Amino acid sequence: MDNKQGLTYSEIRQAILDKIPTQVGITRIEFEGPRLAIYCQKPEFLQENSHIVGEIAGIIKKRIVIRSDPSVRMGEIQAEDIIKEILVEAGLVQAYFDPALGEVVLEVEKPGVAIGKGGANVVEIVKKTHWSPNFKRSPPIPSMTIRQIRGFLYSKSKDREKMLRETGESIFRPIYQQSSDVRVTFLGSARQVGRSAILIKTRESEILMDCGINPGSRNAIGSFPRLDVEEFDLSRLDAVVISHAHLDHCGFLPYLYKYGYNGPVYCSEPTSSVMTLLQSDYIDVTRKEGKAPPYSAEDISEVILHTIPLGYGEVTDISPDVRLTLHNAGHILGSSISHLHIGKGLHNIVYTGDFKYGPTALLQPASSYFPRVETLIMESTYGGPDNFTPSREETESRFVDICNKILKNGKVLIPVPAVGRAQEILMVINKHMNEGNLLQVPVYIEGMISEATGIHTAYPDYLSHDVRDQILKDGINPFESDYFTVVRQHDMRDEIVEGGPCIVMATAGMMEGGPVLEYFKRLAPDENNGIVFVSYQVAGTMGRRVQSGMGSAQMYRNDGKMEIINIALSTHIVQGFSGHSDRRQLMNYVRRLKPSPRRVYVVHGEESKTDNLARSINKLRGVRGYSPRLLDTVRLA
């Protein structure tokens, strides 16, 4: 039988050898994850004659990377000295060598200067050292997470190389079954917000979209995706795709590695960094609550080792009959909408993850153009018939009014998820204090917010054009301000709680653990204080209960004993900062998606909302709307 996806490995090899002159000295041709790596002794020749690589890629229909053969690479210490000389005007901050790929990540202050005219410095570095440079702007706030990930990958470069080769061989294995029978099983996030996990199967491959936890559930069976069912077979899984770093989408991923999965994870590069931060925090928080976390730090390391980051718009083979492309989702840093092209045009699925079809200060709105779409799987957090968020201006002025009122005599507590809303609110507070609209009081920030903010500044290309230009062109850090103080020592809390009016921003966003609870316990009994919710509160969480106006709460004291906290502070909800699309934006997305989908599966919403939204979608011409139940399997093609 023939290989439906194109050329066999030996045909590919021949096509490469035909096109590349022998003087280049090819030593190996190998799969490197979804790409094909050509190892050679003179990579600079192909760098200078880049049309040759372009021609080959056109023939074999695969992405190609050129790697220097390890035997010709210069020693790392000597290479770094030479690179320093070449980049003397670019402000080299850090160099990270990656022996698995023959790449050196160079953090520089001026990437434009570093690359040189027409890429002259790139060619010079390759020629002199035989390492290929990968320039990154050094972030204004250094991120420990990114540093640790790079260090870890360096120490594991042999394992990484092996993983990429095996993944590549599996992706490009010959197809013996014609692509057919595209089926979807909802293992989580069906008629609920939480534990996103959607299995997509063809006769040839199996792909898991997201693998999250349910923060609102108290029992094991409700907390995690239903991986215990017959439809799910870990040993047959080709790939996991993670839409974004929130725990309800990636919090259960390390568990797959604990139980023997050793395949790849695809996501954007910022998602990979933020996900590591949030998964590690999840272990800490779970332990602090006296519970056993479902996985360990080693399992998170396995995730890092197996992650293949993709840029938006990069069309990538992830199995013999599935091609994945990530697009901007506008929800949080690095969040992605996944487009899956199955078979040769057999079926196309768009999975939104969480998305914002509208502008925010931080991010560009979600993409709505795709080459083809038959099936749309869409979130519906704010999909209810009355979930209309006010305009941006109304939202900001309401937020400012509420804070000003509380600040006359009290303190403002804002529970925020470390990633996304925190950075958005920091920018809003800074703007309105500078403009004199908001009382200029100290703003205290506690939890992982500053580390998450550091990760934001490392990936300016993923932010809104405004914020990106501030960082790249003007060298401004938009998350920094004279009003902000990062709380690093716990004993500072006493001063804050006993001091004058102030704003406290703390994690966790849904008040399920974290420093926000410490502040809440001490600020709640005073009616002069106020709590302001700026993000979605999942049913069953502490945040949701406070939001609904409960008068007292049983909470643990620091000595482990329970105490009853009287809740007298005022409670406020400001909806318009949400990183989710509201009802109008969700309907507009279905209407305006190009091309128009035939079927829409509504997920990631409370039961009443998914039902109602699916019924409204059903009334649109030529589109069927469904609200699948947990463990439903549907056949798409």
* Cβ proximity to Zn ion, 205 vs 243, nearer residue: 243
* Cβ proximity to Zn ion, 354 vs 582, nearer residue: 354
* Cβ proximity to Zn ion, 132 vs 381, nearer residue: 381
The stretch among 219-227, 349-357, 396-404, 482-490 that binds Zn ion (CB under 5 A) is 349-357
* Cβ proximity to Zn ion, 354 vs 446, nearer residue: 354
The angle formed by the CA atoms of residues 353, 233 and 252, to the nearest 5 degrees, is 45
Q: Minimal distance in Å, beta carbon 355 to Zn ion?
A: 9
Q: Position 193: which residue type?
A: V
| 554 contacts 563 by C-beta, under 8 angstroms | yes
The stretch among 346-354, 395-403, 437-445, 606-614 that binds Zn ion (CB under 5 A) is 346-354
CB atoms within 10 A of CB 495: 11
Q: Please state whether beta strands 206-209 and 530-533 pair in parallel, antiparallel, or not at all (unpaired).
A: unpaired
The stretch among 197-205, 214-222, 240-248, 583-591 that binds Zn ion (CB under 5 A) is 240-248
Q: Minimal distance in Å, beta carbon 446 to Zn ion?
A: 22
How far apart, in Å, are the Cα atoms of 515 and each of 420, 447, 449, 493?
A: 18, 6, 11, 10
Backbone torsions φ then ψ of 570, nearest 5 degrees: -80, 150
Tokens encoding 460: 């300016």
- Total site size for Zn ion, rule CB under 5 A: 2
Q: Minimal distance in Å, beta carbon 535 to Zn ion?
A: 9
Specify the DSSP class assigned to residue 369: B
Write out the binding residues for Zn ion, residues 460-519 only, by CB under 5 A.
none
* Cβ proximity to Zn ion, 132 vs 268, nearer residue: 268
246 belongs to the binding site for Zn ion (CB under 5 A) = yes
* Cβ proximity to Zn ion, 377 vs 471, nearer residue: 377
The stretch among 195-203, 239-247, 442-450, 501-509 that binds Zn ion (CB under 5 A) is 239-247
Q: Minimal distance in Å, beta carbon 248 to Zn ion?
A: 6
Q: What string marks each residue from 352 to 371 as x (binds Zn ion by CB under 5 A) or -?
A: --x-----------------
The angle formed by the CA atoms of residues 486, 491 and 493, to the nearest 5 degrees, is 60
Residue linked to tokens 């653990």: 513
Partner residues linked to 316 by β-bridges: 324
379 belongs to the binding site for Zn ion (CB under 5 A) = no
Instruction: State the SS3 of 68-119.
Output: ECHHHCCCHHHHHHHHHHHCCCCCEEEEEEECCCCEEEEEECCHHHHHCHHH
The stretch among 241-249, 438-446, 460-468, 594-602 that binds Zn ion (CB under 5 A) is 241-249
Q: Minimal distance in Å, beta carbon 625 to Zn ion?
A: 22
* Cβ proximity to Zn ion, 186 vs 484, nearer residue: 186
| Angstrom distance (rounded) from CA 531 to CA 162 | 51
Q: How many helices (H) and strands (E) does the chain have?
A: 22, 28
Q: Minimal distance in Å, beta carbon 244 to Zn ion?
A: 6
Backbone torsions φ then ψ of 47, nearest 5 degrees: -65, -40
Q: Minimal distance in Å, beta carbon 458 to Zn ion?
A: 20
| 581 contacts 605 by C-beta, under 8 angstroms | no
The stretch among 246-254, 271-279, 570-578, 606-614 that binds Zn ion (CB under 5 A) is 246-254
Q: Minimal distance in Å, beta carbon 223 to Zn ion?
A: 17
| Angstrom distance (rounded) from CA 540 to CA 548 | 11
| Angstrom distance (rounded) from CA 150 to CA 454 | 15
The stretch among 69-77, 138-146, 150-158, 347-355 that binds Zn ion (CB under 5 A) is 347-355
424 belongs to the binding site for Zn ion (CB under 5 A) = no
CA nearest to 516, candidates 422, 416, 403: 416
Q: Minimal distance in Å, beta carbon 575 to Zn ion?
A: 16
Residue linked to tokens 């014609």: 178
Q: Minimal distance in Å, beta carbon 299 to Zn ion?
A: 22
Q: Which residues bind Zn ion (CB under 5 A)?
A: 246, 354
